[in-house]
Amino acid sequence: MPSQAIAVCKTQAIHKDMVTRAQKNMPSEEIIRKAGDFFKTLGDPTRIKIINALLHEELCVCDIAAVLNMNQTTISHQLKTLKAADMVKYRKEGKIVYYSLDDEHITEIYQLGMVHIKEESGV
């Protein structure tokens, strides 16, 4: 794979108006930290598979484990992480706990990410 050159300014010129606009539009440090945590949560392949499994319907831990061919303990651990990040929610029906994506934002972020990845990889 050929290496790509990184664009570097050959002249040291600060465009103050552009810098000021970029600084003005920069989110707070707290929002930046939370965004980092959010995307870090999406950085695990098992969690991505779980999100994909929950895209169209709610599933219990047993169902998710069967879809992913993984053990329930692993799935439960990953669901706990997704729940802590407000990416999934649950409801109880008797002794069964059903999981679903927390809201449409999670669906949209996942789907947009997949579109980007597929376009960039030519798939």
Any idea what the CATH number is for the domain that residue 55 is in?
1.10.10.10
pLDDT in tens, 62-80: 999 999 999 999 999 999 9
- Tokens representing 96? 């069964």
Question: Helices marked H in the chain — which ranges?
Answer: 16-24, 29-41, 45-53, 61-68, 72-84, 104-121
pLDDT in tens, 88-106: 999 999 999 999 999 999 9
Please state the domain count of the chain. 1
Residue 19 lies in a domain: no
d(CA 27, CA 96) in angstroms, rounded, equals 40
Residue 36 lies in a domain: yes
Exposure string of 76-111, with b = 16+ CB inside 10 Å and e = fewer, is: eebbeebeebebbbeeeeeeeebbbbbeeebeeebe
pTM of the predicted structure, to 2 decimals: 0.82
- What does DSSP assign to residue 7? P
pLDDT band at 123, cuts 50/70/90? confident
d(CA 50, CA 71) in angstroms, rounded, equals 13
Range of the domain at 50: 30-121
Residue 8 lies in a domain: no
Residue 81 lies in a domain: yes
pLDDT in tens, 12-64: 888 899 999 999 999 999 999 999 999 999 999 999 999 999 999 999 999 99
Residue 25 lies in a domain: no
